[in-house]
Amino acid sequence: YKFNMVGGGWAEYMPFELCTINAYLLGFLLIFRPAYAVFEVVYFFSMAGTVQGIITPRLFAAFPHYLFWEYFITHTGIVLGALVLIFRYNWKVTWLSLWRAFLWLQVIAFFNLVFDFTFEVNYMFMRNLPRVPSVIDYFGQWPWYIFACEAFGLASFIFYLLPFLLINYRNTPKEIPN
């Protein structure tokens, strides 16, 4: 549908955006037997990535067009799906989870960088800044904004790890001195 409405070549409609990858992984977790290792990645991608996508959307159409609704329903569903997994399975993330998710982010980003320059597309904004205003605009020009995005992403991952660290700290028995 998007191909017919917006136009462009096949390379522009591959499922290589981080939110699209995350949506497929999340669907797998919600439908089939859950895998904690996949959840670790989905949680950080959902919170640090998808929430940013909701705050600064890259829309192909304005309200009330179908693509407007599709964007916000999908992105909100990704965040809610990750929260469902937390409460349904009582899963928690750790520092190790953060580093695993960050490593997968590097793998996906490198793949997209190669794909973007090969087919002249812009998945994960690896070739150009987004066409809509976003926090990335403050990070400079290519390639410097990519490094700033890495730091911002890592800081976001840490921010979304904090609730679990605080809960763990509060639930840790304290030693009472004699």
Cα 65 to Cα 17, 78, 154: the distances in Å are 21, 20, 34
pLDDT over 70 (residue 3): no
Helix (H, G, I), strand (E, B) or coil at 178: coil
Average pLDDT, integer, range 32-55: 90
Q: What are the pLDDT digits (tens) for 7-22?
A: 566 666 778 888 899 9
Q: What is the pTM of this model?
A: 0.85
Number of C-alpha atoms within 13 angstroms, CB side, residue 32?
Answer: 10
Indicate the domain borders of the chain. Answer: 2-171
Instruction: For the chain, give the percent of residues with pLDDT over 90.
Output: 57
Q: What are the pLDDT digits (tens) for 79-128?
A: 999 999 999 999 999 999 999 999 999 999 999 999 999 988 899 999 99
1 or 34, which is more confident? 34
Number of C-alpha atoms within 13 angstroms, CB side, residue 126?
Answer: 23
Q: Residue 105: which residues within 8 A CB-CB, separation 6 or more?
A: 18, 44, 45, 153
Which tokens go with 39? 């959840």
Average pLDDT, the chain: 88
Q: Residue 98: which residues within 8 A CB-CB, separation 6 or more?
A: 44, 157, 158, 161
User: Which pLDDT score, from 0 to 100, does residue 1 have?
Assistant: 45
